[in-house]
Chains A and B, each alone.
Chain A
Amino acid sequence: MKSSVRFGRKILTLLVLVTLVLLVSACSDRDDSSELKTQKVTEFAGGWPYATVPTGHFNMFVANAIELKFYRELHQLPLATYKASSDEYMPMLAESWELSDDNQQINIKLRDDATWQTGEKFTSQDVWTTFMTYKLVGNPVWNYIENVEVINDTEVSFSIKEETTMIYRYILRKPIVDYKTYGTYADQVNELLNEGKDETSEEWKALVGEFNNFRPDVVNATGPYYLDPSNVSQSHVELIKNDKSFLADTVNFEKVLVYNGDVPDLTPLVLNKRIDYLTHQFPPASMETFKNAGYGTIELQGVDGLAVYFNSAKKPLDQVEVRQAIAHVIDRASVGELALPGITKGTEYVTGLGDLMTETWVDTSKLIDYSVDFDKATELLQSAGLTKTNGKWVLEDGTSLKLTIQAPSTWTDAATAAMEVAQQLTAFGIETSFDGIDALVRQTNINDGNFDLALSFFGTGQPHPFFAYETPLLMSNLNAPKGMGYSMTQQTESVGHVDLAELLNQSTQGWDDEKQKMVVEKIAYTVNETVPYLPIYSKWAQNISSEGLRTDWGSDEDLYLNSAGDDNFAVIKILTGELKPIE
C-alpha cells in the first residue's frame, strides 16, 4: 500500500516537472517557430474583427465571412474607388463607364490586363457572376438594375430599372469575385430567372439554402495581395503579395497583416508599435498614450453622430413649438464637448445631415438657427399653451411637463450626453430624467414608441443624403410599428405641404444632381422647421496611423474626406502606392 502511494507521488512529481519544463522551454525557445521570427520591414498592419473557423469562412456573400471590411479591396478589387473631395470614381478593374443616350444602360469597359491569382484572365463574366450572386442574396443593387449582360470579354452592360445617380456607387464599389469560384451559383440563378422563377419560388429558396452552406476553399484575387486560407490564424490574416496583379509593382508592402480583434485586445499591439492603421475608437487616455509613443492621428469629418429623437405621438411633443423650444434650450456645443472630449462636436445645423453635407447640399441661409435662446424657447412653449409655475413648465391640464431621455448606459458618450441634456432641460424648467437602458433594447424601444426622448443616430458616411434620413425617418418612423410617431406629410412655412416619403424616394431619382439637390433641400428645410429629431453632436473620429513611425502616407490629404468605413483612404493609398514603409 505504502509503496503504491509513493509511486503515485513520484508520478505526480514527474508530471509537474514535465509540465514546468514544457512551459519554460516553450517560453524560452521563441525562435523555433517560424511565425516568431523577426517580422519583415515591408509589412502594413491593420486590424478588424473576424470570426475564425468553423464559424468564420470564405463565402464572401454570407454572414461571418472572413471579409475584413475595407481590407477586402486589397485582394478583391472593385470596378472603381471613390474620392469624396471631388465626388468622382477612379478606375480600378473598370477602365471607363458611360451612361447610354437613352439613360437605360450603363456600359462598362473593363481593363484587359487584369488576371486572377489562379492564372485565369479577368473578364466581364466575373462581373456578371458577382452581380448574379448579389441577385441570389437579395442585395439592394437589384432595386436599381434590371439585368447584367456580358457584351464581350471586356465589356459589360447594366440595364437600369430605376434611374438614380446612386447606381454608380452600387455598381462600381462592389468587390468583384470570380466565375471559377461562384460561377456555378451564378449560372443557376440565371437558369431560374430564365424559367421565370424569383425569390419566392421553392427552387430559389433551396438554392439560397445551398449557397448559405457553400464554403469555398480558395479566395481568388485580382488585387495586389491575396488571401490564402492557410494564412488565416485566430490572431491575424496575412495578405500576401499577388505577383500576378496589375498592381503588383505599384504597391510598396510585401504583405498586409490584419489583426483580429477589438479595442481591448488591439491596445497592446499599438503600445508595442506593431500597428500601422486602425479605425477603432480608443478611449482618450489610450489615444494620449499612443500619441506619446509616436503615433499620429487622422481626424475624420464628423459625418454622423447622435440626435435626440422626439416621440411625436406623446403630448406635448406632438407640437412643433415644443420640439423647437427644446432645440433652443439644449446647448449642443457644450454637450458635444462633454460627451467624448476631442471626438464629439456639437452640430451647427439642424437638418438631419452632418454639417459638411448640409453645407454641400443645402442653402444654409434659409435654415432656422437653433442657437441657445431661452427667451425664444419661452415664447414657443407659451404659444403651445404651456405656462411656467414656480420655475417649472406646466401643461394646459395643470400637470408638470416631465420627460425622460433614453440612452444606452454602456455607450459612454451617449449616456454622458443624455445626462447633460437632462440637466439643461431641467434647469430650464422642463423636468427631465436620464433613463439608462440596455443597448439591446435601444432600437426596439424606439420602434415600439416606448420613449419620450431617445438618443439615436443621424447623418451618414455615404455620399448621398438619402442615407442620412434612412435610419431616423424610415427605419425608426415610417417602417416601425410606432416609432417616432412623426407624420411623413407636413405643412411647413418654408416649403409648404410636403410628403417626406415621396421626397425621399425622389431624392435619389434621375441623373440630374441639381434636381436631386432641390428635393434634398425640401427635406432638410422640413426637418429644420418641424424638428422630428434634433442632431446633437457628430463624431469626428480619430484613426491611428503610424505615419513617421513606420510608414509614409504621402501628401494627398483630400482623401481623408473619404468615409473610413466605406471608401477607406488607407486602402486607396496602398493601391496607388502612395502609402509606403519608411526605413
Chain B
Amino acid sequence: MKINNTVLFIIKRLLKMLFTIWVVTTIIFFLIRLMPSNPVDRYVEEQMVQYGLSAEEARAKASFLFSMDLDKSMLEQYITYLGQVIRLDFGDSLLSPGVPVMAIIAERLPWTLFTVGFGLLLSFIIGISAGAILAYRRDKWYEPVVSGIASFLSSIPDFLIAIFLLILFGVVAWGGGNPILPIELLRGNYSMDVTPGFNFAFIKDAIMHGFLPIMTYTVSQVGIWVLLMKGSTISTLSADYVTLAKVRGIKPRRILSAYVGRNALLPISTEFAMRLGFIIGGSLIIEQLFVYQGIGLELLKATSGQDYPLMQGIFLIMTIAIVISSFLAEIFYAVLDPRIKAKEGN
C-alpha cells in the first residue's frame, strides 16, 4: 500500500514534534537543577529576608516542608520525571504540599488563555484590517501617521504600555473626579462576590477584571500586525495575478477579498498560529502588575522559590503548546501551499 504524500508529511512532522518535546523537556529538567542555589536555601532566605524569621526558625520550617526526595540521584529523578511527563502528572508542588501541579496549572492557565488569547485575537483583527487599508490607501494623509503609530507601539515593551494604561484609566482623576476605572477593585481575576460559572454576572465581571491586561496585550501587538499586513499586502498587490485581475476588469472589492487579502494573509496566518503557542506562557510582568493570577505569575513565583515540579509542569505545557502550534502552522501552510508537502513526499 502506497502512503500518500499528506500522510507521510504528517507522520514526519509528528515524529519531529515528539522528538522536539523530549529534547526540550530534558533540557528543562537539567537547566532547572543547574540553577544556582536550591529550594531549601531559597526558602530559608525568603523566610528570613521577607518574613523576618530567625535563621533557626526558617530552617526548622524548611526541614518540615521539604521532606521530599531531593537527595535522589539526578538519573533517578530524571527517570521519575520522564514517567511524569508521559502521564502529564508532576506530583505535588514543593512549596504548596498536597497541591498537585496539574491542579495549579488547570486553575491558572484558563485565565492566561483568556486574556492573552483575547488580546492576540483583537490585535490581529484590528491590525490586519488597518494594515490592508493602509496598503490600499498609501496616498492618503493618515497612512504615514498610522504607520508611525504602529511602529511606535510595536517598539514599546508591553509592561510600559501596562503602566501607562494603569495610570491613564486607574490613577488620573479626569476633570477632578474619580479615575475612569476603580483599579483597586479590578485586581485579581474576578470579584469575591460572584460565583464562577456560566452566568452573566461572572462573565461580565471576568471581562472587567481582564480589561486592562487585554488592552495591554492588544495595544502592544496591534502595531506588529498592522506593519506585517501592510507589507504583505503591498507585495501581493504588485503580483502578476493581481495586475491581470485588474486588467480583466474584476471589481476592486473582489480583488481585495479573493486575490489580495487571502494571499497577503498567508504568511501572517502562520505567524498568528506560531504566536498562539506562546500565549500559554502569558506575560510575567503584566500579570504581576495587574495582580492577575495567570500562569505567568505562577511561573514567576515558582521560579523565585525554585519549585521544581511546578516549574517543570509549566515549562512542559508551554513547550507542548509551542510545538503543537508550530506543527499546526506547518500543516496549515502545507494545506494552503501544496508544493510543500509534494516536496516533502518526494
Contact = CB atoms under 8 A, between A and B. Distances in A.
A461 B122 CA distance: 51
Contacts of B211: 23, 26-27
A57 interface: yes
Contacts of A56: 96
Q: Which of B35, B55, B98, B298 has the most CB of A within 10 A?
A: B98
Contacts of A259: 184, 187
Contacts of A238: 192
A255 to B, nearest CB: 13
Given A55-B93, A443-B37, A33 B205 contact: yes
For the complex, would chain B's binding face be called helix, strand, loop or mixed by DSSP majority? Answer: helix
Interface string A218-247: 000000000000111111101000000000
B261 to A, nearest CB: 12
Contact of A29 (B67, B167, B204): B204
Interface of A: 16, 19, 22-23, 25-27, 29-30, 32-36, 51-57, 62-64, 69, 137-140, 143, 205, 208-209, 212-215, 230-236, 238, 259-262, 264-265, 268-269, 271-272, 274, 438, 440-444, 447, 457, 460-462, 467, 470-471, 474-475, 563, 565-566
Interface of B: 35-37, 41-43, 45, 48-49, 51-52, 54-57, 60-61, 63-65, 67, 93, 95-99, 103-104, 107, 122, 125, 166-167, 170-171, 179, 181-194, 201, 203-205, 207-208, 211, 288-293, 298, 301
B185 A212 contact: no
Contact of A209 (B54, B67, B125, B289): B67
B291 A265 contact: yes
B125 A54 contact: no
A36 B187 CA distance: 12
Contact of B95 (A54, A55, A274): A55
Contacts of A63: 43, 61, 65, 95-97
Given A139-B60, A265-B291, A444 B52 contact: no
Contact of A236 (B170, B187, B190): B187
A443 B52 contact: no
A139 B63 CA distance: 10
A234 B189 contact: yes
A234 B291 contact: yes
B41 A443 contact: yes
A312 B151 CA distance: 56
Given A35-B191, A259-B184, 10 more contacts: A19-B122, A35-B193, A36-B185, A138-B63, A212-B65, A233-B188, A235-B186, A262-B288, A444-B36, A470-B55
A231 B188 CA distance: 13
17 contacts: A26-B211, A29-B204, A56-B96, A57-B96, A63-B97, A64-B95, A138-B63, A212-B97, A233-B192, A234-B293, A259-B187, A260-B188, A261-B187, A265-B187, A271-B171, A462-B54, A565-B52
Contacts of B67: 205, 208-209, 212
A424 B187 CA distance: 46
B170 A268 contact: yes
A67 B118 CA distance: 34
Contact of B42 (A33, A64, A139, A440): A440
A51 B51 CA distance: 14
Given A64-B95, A440-B35, A268 B291 contact: no
A520 B65 CA distance: 33
A462 B42 CA distance: 22
Contact of B192 (A35, A69, A264, A271): A35
B97 A440 contact: no
Contacts of B104: 54-55
B291 to A, nearest CB: 5
A32 B293 CA distance: 23
A137 B97 CA distance: 13
Contacts of A35: 185, 191-193
A444 B37 contact: yes
Contact of A269 (B57, B99, B184): B184
Contacts of A26: 204-205, 207-208, 211
A440 to B, nearest CB: 5
A467 B93 contact: no
Contacts of A54: 96, 99, 103-104, 107
A140 B53 CA distance: 11
Given A33-B205, A137-B61, A233-B188, A265 B289 contact: yes
A138 B192 contact: no
Contacts of A269: 183-184
Contacts of B107: 53-54
Nearest to B207: A26
B193 A467 contact: no
Contacts of A232: 192
A444 B41 contact: yes
A139 B290 CA distance: 36
Q: Which of A36, A143, A238, A262 has the most CB of B within 10 A?
A: A36
Contacts of A262: 288
Enumerate the 8 nearest inter-chain pairs by beta-carbon distance, A residue then B residue, closest first: A234-B188, A213-B98, A565-B52, A235-B187, A235-B188, A233-B192, A212-B97, A441-B36
A53 B192 CA distance: 13
A27 B190 CA distance: 13
A27 to B, nearest CB: 6
